[in-house]
């Protein structure tokens, strides 16, 4: 679907911000249902859900981004995505406030994120792009989530990151 350097991005809202992920990574969008907690997991990994027979971890992006917590309601949405980790493809769901739209993003218009403070705070941001006068933060979910999953499977996070970057 990449034509003329443009690709489709699914945008979603989290607090006051709009974020975007590559549509090809999105498996499905579903409503919120109660999760089963998993022990010793990072706080933002809420638990696991049954997604048509496979067990899928659910990540709360608000907590991941240290935003104020929101109540989970009937309109809370889970976006199920696939992420590439050193251990192979994995599926996981992220809890977001709401899904906005699918937009075409021209690669030439994507601006790099300004470097603020430590590099690792922004290394999961692929870039910023303006869509209909709103700023959309494009996420690199491999870096954002792959690291959590790699950590939980006992692989050293930095190492895994280096491996996935290589």
Partner 1 sequence: MTVDLTQFHDAFFEESFEALDAMEAALMKLDVGSPEAELVNTIFRVAHSIKGGSATFGFTEIASFTHSLETLLDELRSGTMPVTVALSDLLLKSVDVLRAMLRAVQAKQPIDAQRVSDLQFDLEVAIADKNKSEAVPPAAPGGGLPRPAIHGGSLARIEDTLSVLDKDTALARWRIRFHPYRELLARGNDPLRMLRELAALGELAVRLDAQMLPPLAELNPQDCYLAWSLELPGEVTEEAIKQVFEWAEGDCDLTIERQAAETSDLPASPQAAAVAPAPAAAAVAAAPAVAAAPAVATAAATARADAPTKVEASVSGLGDSGSIRVSVEKIDELMNTVGELVITQAMLSQLGSHFDGPDAEKLRGGLAQLERYMRELQESVMRVRMLPISFVFSRFPRMVRDLAQRLGKQIELKLTGEQTELDKTVLEKIGDPLVHLVRNCIDHGIESPDARVAAGKSAEGTVHLDACHRGGNIAVEVSDDGGGLDKERILAKARARGLVGANDVLSDSEIHELIFLPGFSTAEKTTDVSGRGVGMDVVRRNVKELGGKIDLTSEPGRGSRFTITLPLTLAIVDGQSVAVGTETYIVPLISIVESMQLKETGVTRLSGHSEVLSFRGDYLPIIRLHELFGVEPRSRALHEGLVVVAEGDGRRVGLFVDDLLGQQQVVIKSLEANYGHIEGVSGATILGDGSVALILDVPGLIRAASMRAAA
Sheet bearing 77-85, strands edge to edge = 26-31, 77-85, 88-96, 54-60, 45-51
- How many residues sit in the footprint of partner 1 (CB under 8 A)? 27
Query: With binding defined as CB under 8 A, does residue 26 bind partner 1?
Result: no
If one asks whether residue 149 binds partner 1 (CB under 8 A), the answer comes out as yes
* For partner 1, the closer CB: 13 or 38: 38
> Is residue 74 near partner 1 by the rule CB under 8 A?
no
Question: Is residue 20 close enough to count as binding partner 1 by CB under 8 A?
Answer: no
The neighbour count for residue 79, using CB atoms within 10 Å, is 21
CB of 87 to partner 1, least distance (A): 8
Please tell me whether residue 35 binds partner 1 under the rule CB under 8 A: yes
Identified binder of partner 1 from the candidate list 2, 50, 120, 130, rule CB under 8 A: 50
Listing DSSP states for 8-34 in one string gives EEEEEEETTEEEEEEGGGEEEEEE--P
Please report, for residues 98, 99, 147, 161, the alpha-carbon distance to residue 157 in angstroms, rounded to integers and kept in the order given.
30, 30, 6, 6
Chain contacts with partner 1 (rule: CB under 8 A): 34-41, 47-50, 52-57, 90-92, 149-154
């Amino acid at each position: 679907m990449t034509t003329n350097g443009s690709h489709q991005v699914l945008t979603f809202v989290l607090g006051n911000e709009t974020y975007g992920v590559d549509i090809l990574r999105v498996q499905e969008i579903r409503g919120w249902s109660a999760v089963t907690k998993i022990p010793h997991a990072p706080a933002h990994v809420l638990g696991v859900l049954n997604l048509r027979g496979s067990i899928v971890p659910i990540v709360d992006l608000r907590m991941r981004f240290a935003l104020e917590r929101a109540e989970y309601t009937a309109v809370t949405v889970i976006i199920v995505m696939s992420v590439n980790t050193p251990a192979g493809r994995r599926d996981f769901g992220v809890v977001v406030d709401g899904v906005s739209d699918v937009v075409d993003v021209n690669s030439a218009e994507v601006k790099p994120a300004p470097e603020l403070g430590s590099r690792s705070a922004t290394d999961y941001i692929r870039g910023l792009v303006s869509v209909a006068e709103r700023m959309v933060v494009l996420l690199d979910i491999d870096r954002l989530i792959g690291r959590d999953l790699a950590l939980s499977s006992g692989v050293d996070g930095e190492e895994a990151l280096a491996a996935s970057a290589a």
